[in-house]
Amino acid sequence: MEISPLQKARLQYNPKLPPALKNGVLSLKHVLGGKTESVADQEQISRIFEHTYGKPVVTFEASENSKTAKAINVGVILSGGQAPGGHNVIAGLFDALKAADASSRLYGFLGGPSGLTDGKYIEMTAEFVNAYRNTGGFDIIGSGRTKLETEEQFNKAWDVCKKLNISAIVIIGGDDSNTNAALMAEWFVKHNAGIQVIGCPKTIDGDLKNEQIEISFGFDTATKTYAELIGNIERDANSAKKYWHFIKIMGRSASHVALEAGLQTQPNITLISEEVAAKKMSLAQIVDYIADIIVRRAENGKNFGIVIVPEGLIEFIPEMKTMISELNDLTHELEKDDKYTSAPQADKFTIIEKALSSGSAKVFESLPDGIKAQLLMDRDPHGNVQVSRIDTEKLLIAMLEKKLAAMKKAGTYKGKFSTQSHFFGYEGRCAFPSNFDADYCYSLGYNAFALVSGGFTGYLSSVRNLTKPATEWIAGGIPLTMMMNIEKRKGENKPVIKKALVELDGPVFARLEKNREDWAMNDRYLFPGAVQYFGPAEVCDRTTVTIQLEHQK
Ligand code: FBP
């Protein structure tokens, strides 16, 4: 197969490992912390995870003593949205497993969690894995979003594992996929199946984090990719001086990606969903906030600018959140009714408006038909609204056009409002992993096998101290139940991993807050350029602003 010169060069890159893992996984000391608790709803979570709740955090240290190797078969799943570096997690896992015992086998389940339950797999060979080292994408085995939670699914998974003599499964995924991992780990222990389950923290969204998981993989590369594109648009806007660019940035719920991309590029406006929720801003108030900056810039002769819109914004506007939550419950029921499913779209809107509470019906009614239709689209298998399919940036433009036209009539705005809309999401999820993600992912995969080899189950692979060079990285594991709470999904209370949202009293948001008036009015655009893989360390190995500010001592 023909490959690009960059891919060829990247195949030669040797990712770095934390020092504890440098001699393989057989000579490791396990340093265990105390009993842990879930982040919330401890009583319910401890009941649901009767056999796996409360385990200690583990840190690995290099040891003089080494264990005897034992051949073991492991299965691996890529789950949920793509994130740069997934292939390196698999490469790290493969190398650790083969280094411990060359007769061990790694099976890759195809197309996400359903590959496990349907018994669709391939056995990984060195030649096969080598072709994917340091490349982006999840195409090595594919990904999917199937939720694993039923007895039937777990029984099927057990049968497949028995057939392949698999005694550990590694799930590479985000919050929903690692919720799957926790449920499956518990089920296997409960049934004495002798199958361990280990998770790896993946998601460009950056919302799977805590003290032990400093960042999920993919965030570094994806944010740098979006920042490159935003920087390019800033230069274009500053050259032509004729458009307001509204750029929606991926990140299903939390605004970490938008915030990081904003800090890397310093656009005129960066909206942060968590702030909108905290200030209980309505859609109209958000429009007023943007309009004020547009008007003031126009007074200075500037009819151009850049607005960053986090993908998940719509769900954080209190009035929208209430309406979407009602819609979730409602559509879940209505979709079972043929009369609703076969109705023309306009009739569906009327049925919905009648069934919603009066406040939510008013909000729904006020939206353009296109947005209404997008809000009614299928939820993902975990019950989430697919915010990547809602044109929030276009909704804001339409509302601003209306408002500014009215202001023009009233003589309070004299500018020109020409717009361009963009959505940067899929562009960043399969980029070649940055050096940071290439190293971090390889380490996470290698470390996942250290957890398997150490006999752990229901743990998330953890590599921390990431703002330091890899020679100072710390490897270990964190019990998945520690990150869980109860949330409503598809109308029912379910245990799920709690998303880490942007902290409005934290240092990352503080940097935006401190500078935003200056960035709004004076053009302080930064042009980060493309991710660099070869060259000086200050260009190639820099970490994100988020992780630097969050971990500065
Ligand atoms: P994960 O949480 O599974 O990593 O996915 C994140 C994400 O990229 C979101 O940012 C985005 O909203 C969503 O996936 C898009 O989903 P899909 O790939 O199914 O369109």
- DSSP per-residue letters across 317-374: SHHHHHHHHHHHHHHHHHTT-HHHHTS-HHHHHHHHHHHS-HHHHHHHHHS-HHHHHH
For residues 432 and 136, the answer to whether their CB atoms sit within 8 Å is yes
Residue 379's pLDDT band, with cuts at 50, 70 and 90, is: confident
Q: Does the Cβ of 80 fall within 6 Å of ligand 1?
A: yes
Q: Is the pLDDT of residue 223 over 90?
A: yes
Q: Does the Cβ of 81 fall within 6 Å of ligand 1?
A: yes
Angle value at C-alpha 52, between 65 and 456, nearest 5 degrees = 20
Ligand 1 centroid distance, CA of 313 (Å): 15
Instruction: Give the chain's end-to-end CA distance (angstroms, integer).
Output: 48
Closest atom of ligand 1 relative to the 388 alpha carbon: 12
Ligand 1 centroid distance, CA of 252 (Å): 6
User: Amino acid identity of 402?
Assistant: K
Ligand 1, atom 12, lies closest to the CA of 252
- Predicted confidence at residue 239, as pLDDT, reads 98
Ligand 1, atom 8, lies closest to the CA of 81
Closest atom of ligand 1 relative to the 203 alpha carbon: 4
- Predicted confidence at residue 67, as pLDDT, reads 84
Among candidate residues 175, 205, 220, 439, the one labeled active-site is 205
- Predicted confidence at residue 69, as pLDDT, reads 84
Q: Is the pLDDT of residue 19 over 90?
A: yes
Q: Report the range of poorest mean pLDDT among 225-229, 253-257, 346-350, 458-462.
A: 346-350
The 10s digit of each residue's pLDDT in 274-305 is 999 999 999 999 999 999 999 999 999 999 99
All structural domains of the chain, each given as residue ranges with its CATH number in brackets, are: 33-218+433-488 (3.40.50.450), 222-278+292-311+391-430+523-553 (3.40.50.460), 316-390 (1.10.10.480)
User: Span 39-50, mean pLDDT?
Assistant: 96
Output the pTM of the full model: 0.94
- For residue 196, give the nearest of 472, 420, 477, 518 by alpha carbon: 477
For residues 476 and 462, the answer to whether their CB atoms sit within 8 Å is yes
Pairwise CA distance, residues 164 & 33, whole Å: 34
Ligand 1, atom 19, lies closest to the CA of 81
Q: Report the range of poorest mean pLDDT among 89-103, 273-287, 486-500.
A: 486-500
Q: Count the alpha carbons within 13 Å of 28 in the hemisphere toward its beta carbon.
A: 30
As a whole number, the mean pLDDT across the chain is 94
- Predicted confidence at residue 553, as pLDDT, reads 65
The percent of residues above 90 in pLDDT, for the chain, comes to 85
- Predicted confidence at residue 492, as pLDDT, reads 84
Is 502 or 339 the better-scoring residue by pLDDT?
A: 502
Q: If DSSP states are collapsed to H, E and C, what string results for 412-443?
A: CCCCCCCEEEEEECHHHHCCCCCHHHHHHHHH
Q: Distances in Å between the alpha carbon of 360 and those of 324, 331, 333, 429?
A: 8, 14, 17, 34
User: Span 212-217, mean pLDDT?
Assistant: 94
Q: Which among 79, 179, 180, 250 is the best mutation to test ligand 1's pocket, defined by most ligand atoms within 8 Å of the CB? A: 250
Is 351 or 304 the better-scoring residue by pLDDT?
A: 304
- For residue 453, give the nearest of 67, 54, 158 by alpha carbon: 67
Ligand 1, atom 10, lies closest to the CA of 251
Q: Does the Cβ of 205 fall within 6 Å of ligand 1?
A: yes
Residue 211's pLDDT band, with cuts at 50, 70 and 90, is: confident
Q: Report the range of poorest mean pLDDT among 284-293, 324-333, 499-508.
A: 324-333
Pairwise CA distance, residues 13 & 531, whole Å: 15
Pairwise CA distance, residues 403 & 288, whole Å: 8
- Predicted confidence at residue 329, as pLDDT, reads 83
